[in-house]
Amino acid sequence: RAKQSGRATMRVFEPRMDIELQARKALEYDLRQALARNQLEVHYQPLVELENGRIAGVEALARWRHPEHGLVPPSSFIPLAEDTGLIVGIGEWVLRTACAQAAAWPELRVAVNLSPIQFRHSELVETVRQVLVDTGLAPHRLELEITESVLLHDAAAAREILTALKETGVFIVMDDFGTGYSSLGYLNSFPFDKIKIDKSFISDLSAEKSNAIVRSVIGLGQSLNMITTAEGVETPEQVEFLLREGCEQVQGYHFGRPIPADAMTTLIGGWTNDLGEGRSAA
């Protein structure tokens, strides 16, 4: 009897598992073709200097324009790309595309996310060097964003990679700070230039605890000589708080959503003009 009901349970679950697995396999199949079929895009979101409202740079964010599913967000395909190893090729394409694009924009920096798998890939440093040479982007205009998780397993290896990356002249950014293990020691013992405070703390700023955390991370950044960027800034109240606490950079829907390269080119033009007008009026 027990065996029977067990079997019945299996029968209930099997077909659904099958469908999920099939959907995943289909998506994986599609993702393998995505690069060759020109379905991947890079969108750009402004990084704004809080003190003067100037656009200091942009973050490059991958998008997949799927023929049936429409615009697929990275949360739906980056993990799949990581599981299948496709992230190495996709990541290099994003890096190259973003650097070439940034080279065509005046002065702006471009921030590119590195997956832990890319980070550990033996050719990472050489790829970064080669992309900078090929695109002609000055190294100081490239920021590489990594998360705390890459520092966890083998700190010595991570330090070696980060040091080699620093030697190419690029900026190193700790992304999503506060969501991982957040050992303060990491900040001290690795060559980070910037800390990005995760958006979960910014959206929760009305709570006293998040308030205190954000305040102390900004202070930490200041005393360690790192730039602090707040992610996910959506409201004037959040802007006010961050300004008061001396946060240097902000990123979020309040200032601009991620948009395609063409739209960003237009935005940069308008943004620069506004500043120019502001200056000549003053």
Q: By the 8 A CB rule, do 57 and 47 touch?
A: yes
Q: Which of residues 135-164 bind ligand C2E (CB under 6 A)?
A: 145
CB of 56: closest distance to Mg ion in angstroms?
Answer: 15
- CB nearest ligand C2E: which residue? 252
Q: What is the DSSP letter of 105?
A: S
The tokens for 119 are 């980070």
Continuous segment of H or E residues that includes residue 211? helix 208-223
Exactly one of 101, 113, 135, 238 binds ligand C2E (CB under 6 A); that residue is 113
Query: Which residue's CB is nearer to Mg ion, number 121 or number 196?
Result: 196
Our finding on whether 234 is near ligand C2E (CB under 6 A) is yes
Our finding on whether 61 is near ligand C2E (CB under 6 A) is yes
Query: Which residue's CB is nearer to Mg ion, number 78 or number 261?
Result: 78
Burial 227-251 (b: 16+ CB within 10 A, else e): bbbbbbbeeeebbebbeebebbbbb
The tokens for 17 are 């598992």
The three-state secondary structure class of 259 is strand
| DSSP codes, 171-203 | EEEEEEETSS---HHHHHHS--SEEEE-HHHHH
End-to-end Cα distance, the chain: 86
Q: By the 8 A CB rule, do 221 and 195 touch?
A: yes
Our finding on whether 232 is near ligand C2E (CB under 6 A) is yes
Exactly one of 73, 79, 136, 278 binds ligand C2E (CB under 6 A); that residue is 73
CB of 169: closest distance to ligand C2E in angstroms?
Answer: 21
Binding partner of residue 135 among ligand C2E, Mg ion, none, CB under 5 to 8 Å per kind? none
Our finding on whether 10 is near ligand C2E (CB under 6 A) is no
Exactly one of 119, 194, 252, 261 binds ligand C2E (CB under 6 A); that residue is 252
Binding partner of residue 128 among Mg ion, ligand C2E, none, CB under 5 to 8 Å per kind? none
Residues in contact with ligand C2E by CB under 6 A are 45, 61-62, 73-75, 78, 91, 94, 113-115, 145, 175-176, 199, 231-234, 251-253, 258
